[in-house]
A and B are shown apart, each in its own frame.
Chain A
């Protein structure tokens, strides 16, 4: 178990390194290959050459790429110092650098926005797990019934609807039309009920999309598992149907569900870009979209790191949970 953990953590660290390198190459090498000067595009088109040179020197943009990557990593753990001539700026650890556009420090903005996205992702995940899995299990048990067909039609509709459309529809109907909800984001520290009020529409629309997917997968998996020999054995032993389904069938059904949950939750924590854009939630996704449009590399690196870390951690937790849920799985 411990060896397994160490190996997985090592693999995760390698993966993070690869991701950082890829992001660096996307934003430094691709523009170079396309013939665009990175430093000039950061300073702005009208900037005079001296200013461009100063910025380039201070940010270390003319250094070779490996030393830029090294400086970036060093900054996270030990802080870093930006210097160009007499102009010296000290950035304490964890230092993710400064925005190329607004000269804001990246780390405080990330910590400021992270709770919004985390709240959105976790709240929606609870909703879609409960409703999606329940609907899928019920459909599988009452296969071919009116409920099954109805639920699967709704689910198929759900996976075919883009979130930015259902989001806008729900805003138009519940917030503007019926005036039930004031869709305005309020930080949880300010007012708990206000926070719930602002998050309820994003939660429901996001959960609807995922619940539809999870219901379809749950139903398919459950149907397959109900045909397995060990279920027949359990029934033959005279176990109650409740136990057969609840304990024996549910355990294996949850394995693929958990795999999906790990990936989906990780990706969402790193920024529910579409949902946050639709509902104007000030989370990581909205920020990274801004940053990408402005080619603001430090922010993109920061958010990408958090996202990748979230995906990796979520996957690791899921793999460990497998062993708990499914007795056939052994971690080696």
Chain B
């Protein structure tokens, strides 16, 4: 492919087809900027998106370092502190849900487990399920979407009908149903491991049509472009065209949909644990803490506020970052 005469500055955002050209021209032309560079420069100017991104990084650090952080404040997420509980009402002694220097967010009613440690450990479950289920959805959606768009015909009909069907399903209902009938032991995993694995698979499975539709639509328009025809006339095989010509041009929409899917998946995980079909106690999860908090919303509101705010901050940070990424990568983006 020869580098086309192209002035990146004249056009604020190159269209998908030009991106590859710009990227390959990058090495030769001095003023050439890759899509990644352009997006990064836009993202850098978006203060809200950046702060969202920073919070996301912090949360990931918290999740990975959960044992270290809990150890540093001297707390264990599953250790009971019944001495801190009012035996008459089952609520924590003292004000604000038993908040103190050693229990930074207070303790749980009845058991007296440290809420700070449980929140920190709960981040592991939330982020793990949120990320990995998005990965499942992206892989399935990209592969099937690209196949449907590229081959057309009956392949497209079958995949498209399946996507329509899945989108018309009462999703939460089926996610709950599937998660709850899955066995408690499989593939050598037990307990929390199985619950997390099952949630990742099921949430990911119901998420792929969203990405699949976008990828299919993009592929449909991209496969008619001249550069695909050029590759074909040079004797490139189907696989080469799929992976070397089409896939690089689909990266931008895939990244956008992935970042927007993660917060939704985190909310779904929290909802499943809230409904009692997610991870089982004593493993800590935010949704499950909220579900326990229903019984204490009047007597111990702190117990409800802490996990609720944790979910809120996490999802908000991902949403802010996702919006920023979309604006930075979207050629039509105008804000």
Chain A interface residues (CB < 8 Å from chain B): 15, 18-19, 22-23, 26-27, 30-31, 34-36, 156-157, 159-162, 164-165, 168-169, 171-172, 176, 223-224, 263, 266-267, 270-271, 273-274, 277-278, 288-289, 292-293, 295, 300, 303-304, 307-308, 311-312, 315
Contact = CB atoms under 8 A, between A and B. Distances in A.
B209 to A, nearest CB: 12
Given A156-B320, A168-B293, A172-B298, A292 B311 contact: no
Interface string B303-319: 01100100110011001
A172 B297 CA distance: 6
A274 B291 CA distance: 11
Interface in B182-200: 182-183, 186
Given A168-B297, A273-B275, A267 B181 contact: no
A289 B176 contact: yes
A66 to B, nearest CB: 20
A278 to B, nearest CB: 7
B151 interface: no
Q: Is the interface of A mostly helix, strand, loop or mixed?
A: helix
B242 interface: no
A41 B34 CA distance: 60
A267 B308 contact: no
Contacts of B176: 273, 289, 292
A165 B170 contact: no
Given A156-B316, A304-B170, A164 B271 contact: yes
A270 B178 CA distance: 17
A6 to B, nearest CB: 19
Given A168-B297, A171-B297, A293-B180, A15 B172 contact: no
Given A157-B316, A308-B168, A315-B168, 13 more contacts: A15-B165, A15-B168, A34-B182, A34-B186, A165-B311, A168-B304, A169-B308, A172-B304, A271-B170, A278-B294, A293-B276, A303-B173, A311-B170
- Is the interface on chain B under 10, 10 to 19, 20 to 34, or 35 or more residues? 35 or more
B16 interface: no
Given A156-B319, A168-B294, A311-B168, A34 B183 contact: yes
B275 A277 contact: yes
12 contacts: A30-B181, A34-B183, A157-B316, A162-B287, A165-B312, A168-B297, A168-B304, A169-B305, A172-B297, A273-B173, A292-B180, A304-B173
B270 to A, nearest CB: 6
A161 B176 CA distance: 20
A117 B204 CA distance: 28
Contacts of B171: 267
A160 B316 CA distance: 5
B275 A312 contact: no
Contacts of B315: 160-162
B267 interface: yes
A292 B320 CA distance: 35
A267 B172 contact: yes
Which of A160, A172, A308 has the most B CB atoms < 10 Å from its CB? A160
B177 A160 contact: no
A190 to B, nearest CB: 25
Interface in B132-177: 165, 167-174, 176-177
B131 interface: no
A274 B294 CA distance: 12
A162 B270 contact: yes
Nearest to A156: B319
A277 B277 CA distance: 13
Contacts of A35: 183
The 10 closest A-B pairs by CB, nearest first: A34-B183, A165-B308, A160-B316, A160-B315, A307-B170, A176-B298, A172-B297, A30-B181, A270-B170, A168-B297
